[in-house]
Amino acid sequence: MGQFHFTETEIKGVYIIEPKVFGDNRGYFMETYNYEDFKAQGLDMQFVQDNQSKSRKGVLRGLHYQVHFPQGKLVRVISGEVFDVAVDLRKGSPTYKKWVGVVLSAENKKQFYVPEGFAHGFLVLSEEAEFVYKVTDYYHPEDEGGIIWNDPGIGIHWPLEGIEEIIMSEKDKKLDGLKE
């Protein structure tokens, strides 16, 4: 037990998780998830699906959320570097519309837990990045919602230095700002 350091962010329920890394002349070993360690931290969820994506520098995916089938997400980067963001969409939450972001990279090995009820997105900072995540519910394409990445009502401070072009899907380009 105790293979992780959990840091709760300023938004309740959102965690930065740092695994213990055991390295030697052969390389390294780490656990990326352990049910008992997470449960001891109060993160007692069941993951039902793992996903992986690869993107190039400047790709911005998000901000996405699910309306009726919300997903908690445990995200990490296995190659490259991204800026990952969670936006609180929980009505009645004292941090409603607040966001928190963290740099995730293959080098720092940090993970980010985004609970149900949040919008999520990331911007690729390195030449390429491979992003992997576990989710607590299956993906329902008809249930997806989204918020435009630069909504002034949320005010995310994306690290755009060195990003020549933001690359988005056509669907994400058409997203609106957050409506009450």
- What is the distance between the alpha carbons of residues 148 and 161, in angstroms, rounded to a whole number? 20
Catalytic hit among 64, 65, 113, 120: 64
CA distances to 48, 72, 103, 113 from 139, rounded to whole Å, are 10, 11, 25, 17
In one-letter notation, the amino acid at residue 17 is I
Query: Is 35 designated active site?
Result: no
Question: Based on C-alpha coordinates, what's the Rg of the chain?
Answer: 16
- Contact assessment for residue 56 and residue 108, using Cβ atoms and an 8 Å cutoff: no
**DSSP letter (8 states) at residue 95:** T
Catalytic hit among 35, 65, 133, 138: 133
Query: Is 64 designated active site?
Result: yes
- What is the distance between the alpha carbons of residues 85 and 16, in angstroms, rounded to a whole number? 11
Q: 27 Cβ partners below 8 Å, 6+ apart?
A: none
- Which positions are catalytic? 64, 133
